[in-house]
Amino acid sequence: MIFLRNLIFNIFFYFSVIVASFIIIILYPFISTPLLQSIASYWVKTNLHILKFFCGVSWKVHGIHNLKNTPCILVSNHQGQWESFYLQTLLIPSSSIIKKELLYIPIFGWALACLKPIHLRRANKYRSMKKVIKDGSKKLKKGTSLIIFPEGTRTNPKDGLKKFSNSCGYLSVNNNVPIVPICHNSGLFWRNKRFIKHKGEVEVYIGEPIYGNDPKIVTEAAYDWIKLKFNEIH
């Protein structure tokens, strides 16, 4: 029964990816990026509710009041696909940082490009960090929030929290916008690259905005807050 429920969810998920991607590609010449992102957000919310219905993965959000209608940098720990999707629904317009290779995936990658993410190759960390800061600053100045996973890669919850890149701190200080720290435990239920999703409730905590004048100190403050919550919910 568990396998069947997961099979139904995955069939719906991948079919809906194709449908949503075509819709975004077709509408791209005619509507604004925020409207396209709203369509993508609706797709995400639909899939999360389907996931909840068939696989029993629900979620509870604490601190949603800490999100304001002004540009900020959402900084989160990274465990799998769930938060990659969910964070897209919190603020519009927003921009994620993705691997450039994703844009080459037929249909899905083309739709992803329409949503105007920041794309980079991660082979050279220093060059990638410079590109994130440069392109991210342009986005923030235009009123677009950023979604950043400063660990760089997805991490198994059992391995704890990895060291953060300072790019989020530099973006915050250079553009005078806050970091909003986010912590979750989605990897306990939707494990990275696993077919079976495990029943349970994802806990999501959104912290108060963090400001500062020193990029490293701001990054450390975000890390310390997320680390504290991480230890509470794992």
pLDDT band at 206 (very low <50, low <70, confident <90, very high): very high
Per-residue H/E/C for the chain: CHHHHHHHHHHHHHHHHHHHHHHHHHHCCCCCHHHHHHHHHHHHHHHHHHHHHHHCEEEEEECHHHCCCCCCEEEECCCCHHHHHHHHHCCCCEEEEEEHHHHHCCCHHHHHHHCCCEEECCCCHHHHHHHHHHHHHHHHHCCCEEEECCCCCCCCHHHCCCCCCCHHHHHHHHHCCCEEEEEECHHHCCCCCCCCCCCEEEEEEECCCECCCCHHHHHHHHHHHHHHHHHHHC
pLDDT band at 129 (very low <50, low <70, confident <90, very high): confident
Q: In degrees, to the nearest 5, what angle opens at C-alpha 159 toward C-alphas 196 and 62?
A: 70
Residue at token pair 């494990």: 191
Place of tokens 């553009």: 175
Looking at the predicted structure, is the pLDDT value of residue 231 above 80? yes
CATH number of domain containing 103: 3.40.1130.10
pLDDT tens profile 92-123: 999 999 989 999 999 999 999 999 999 987 66
pLDDT at residue 61, as a whole number: 98
27-82 pLDDT, tens digit per residue, is 999 999 999 999 999 999 999 999 999 999 999 999 999 999 899 999 999 999 99
The whole-number pLDDT of residue 123 equals: 66
* Mean pLDDT computed over every residue of the chain: 95
The closest of 15, 150, 5 to 74, measured between CA atoms, is: 150
Asked whether 33 and 93 are in contact (CB, 8 A), the reply is yes
End-to-end CA distance of the chain: 27
Cis peptide before 93 (omega within 30 of 0): yes
Q: What is the pLDDT of residue 152?
A: 87
What per-residue confidence (pLDDT) applies to 113? 96
Tokens of 98: 């993705």
Name the domain count of the chain: 1
Cβ atoms of 54 and 6 within 8 Å: the answer is: yes
Domain containing 59 equals: 2-233
Q: Could you tell me which residues are beta bridge partners of residue 14?
A: none
